[in-house]
Amino acid sequence: MKKMINNPDDVVEELVSGYVKAYPDYIRYSENHRRALIGKKRHKNRKVSVLIGGGSGHEPGFLGYVGQGMADGVAVGNIFASPSPIPIQTVTQEIHKGDGVLYIYGNYAGDLMNFEMASEMTEIEDDIKTTAVIGNDDLASSKDPTDRRGIAGELLVFKVAGAAADFGYDLETVTKLAQKANDSTRSMGIGLSPCYLPQTGKPSFDLEENEMEIGLGHHGEPGIEKTTIRSAKETTEVLMTNIFKEGIYEAGDDVVVLINGLGATSQMDLYIINNTVDDMLKSKQLNTHRTYVGDFITSMEMSGFSITLMKVDDELKKCIDHQVDCPNFTQIGGHDDDINK
């Protein structure tokens, strides 16, 4: 394990502090809680606020997605652990502008418990209405979609929710669109080598030098199968075939593609993978509306990647194409030019 850190007990405080210092025009600490971060840019048409959050170790997720066109604030947990209800409540109070707050988080026991508790607290104590969309795109984690974990596909849900909020829609409509985005999204990934938890120095899972794990989770949760390492093409075919089997993508559909590196897999590999993704989409007569390739939601220095497909209709396309200005996720164009004016 070779990390460039200081005291292992301080990694989360220091990463958040370094982040806020890097982007002072974009984000600030809440004065009331060090794990509650508040965005500084907000579209003038936005009524509803969007709150995201989850464990640390997924940088630039989740704090990297606070910015104009995305989330208004983020609650930051410890490494691979949910934020507690207090910072969630704090963010809710500070980003709320009178028309409610949408929470988006992954389908993990700790997140469910803490976000639900925060939601009750803000409703009772602060009279703020909240809704929730729970990311569950990882099809390898369970046959039952309600038991599935959220992985990289959450980025696309943030994107859609942020755009819908910028369009000035009300809480019900923003929530409905974000839920549609989530329901239209499936992901599957593989792991090649583990990350190391800063405080213990222990690997998040074990694999032999010639092994890969198909369906591995973002915190090292077991996948479907350990096999010898296959080629990029064979591996991508396994993932895409499983995504297609979900049966939600039909010939003629438009899809958004997200190829997400987990941290240590090189960008070169991710682009090589895109050839097979592209071939298989064409063979199924699916049209690629937009492709994102990069390290968006990582697992520290884990090696591996995931593929996400989101089926998009005109409404979702308009959201996906909307302009975004976050430190780590910026996109020009779309249907609204008055950002930053």
For residues 242 to 281, the per-residue mask of contacts with its own copies, x marking binding by CB under 8 A and - elsewhere, is ---------------x-----xxxxxxxxxxxxx--x---
Taking CB under 8 A as the rule, does residue 81 contact its own copies? no
Shortest Å distance, C-beta 179 to its own copies: 28
Buried b (16+ CB within 10 A) or exposed e, 98-131: ebbbbbbbbbbebbeebbeebbebbeeeeebbbb
Name the phi and psi angles at 145, rounded to 5. -55, -30
User: Are the beta carbons of 215 and 190 closer than 8 angstroms?
Assistant: yes
Structure tokens at 77: 């947990």
Cis peptide, bond prior to residue 8, ω within 30 of zero: no
User: In the bound complex, what is the minimum distance in angstroms from residue 173's beta carbon to its own copies?
Assistant: 26
**Per CB under 8 A, 227 contacts its own copies:** no
C-beta of 153 vs 191, nearer to its own copies: 191
Compute the least distance from the CB of residue 21 to its own copies, in Å.
Answer: 5
3-state secondary structure at position 18: helix
Note whether 287 and 250 are within 8 A (CB).
Answer: no
End-to-end distance of the chain based on CA atoms, in angstroms?
Answer: 46
Consecutive H or E run containing 106: strand 101-106
- Asked whether position 285 contacts its own copies by CB under 8 A, the answer is no
Of residues 143 through 202, those in contact with its own copies by CB under 8 A are 190, 192-193, 195
* 149 secondary structure, DSSP code: P
For residue 225, state whether it binds its own copies (rule: CB under 8 A): no
Answer yes or no whether residue 23 interacts with its own copies by CB under 8 A.
yes
What's the DSSP call for residue 152?
A: T
Count of residues touching its own copies (by CB under 8 A) = 64
Binding residue (CB under 8 A) for its own copies from 86, 117, 224, 293: 293
According to CB under 8 A, which one of 94, 138, 254, 295 is a site residue for its own copies? 295
Residue closer to its own copies by CB (options 55, 150) is 55
Only segment of 19-27, 47-55, 141-149, 216-224 that touches its own copies (CB under 8 A)? 19-27
DSSP letter assigned to residue 243? H
Rounded CA-CA distance 41/39 in Å is 6
Rounded Cα–Cα distance for residues 107 and 338 (Å): 35
Residues that bind its own copies (CB under 8 A): 2-6, 11, 14-19, 21-23, 56-57, 59-60, 190, 192-193, 195, 209, 212, 229, 231-233, 235, 257, 263-275, 278, 291, 293-295, 298, 300-301, 303, 305, 323, 325, 327-328, 330-333, 339-340
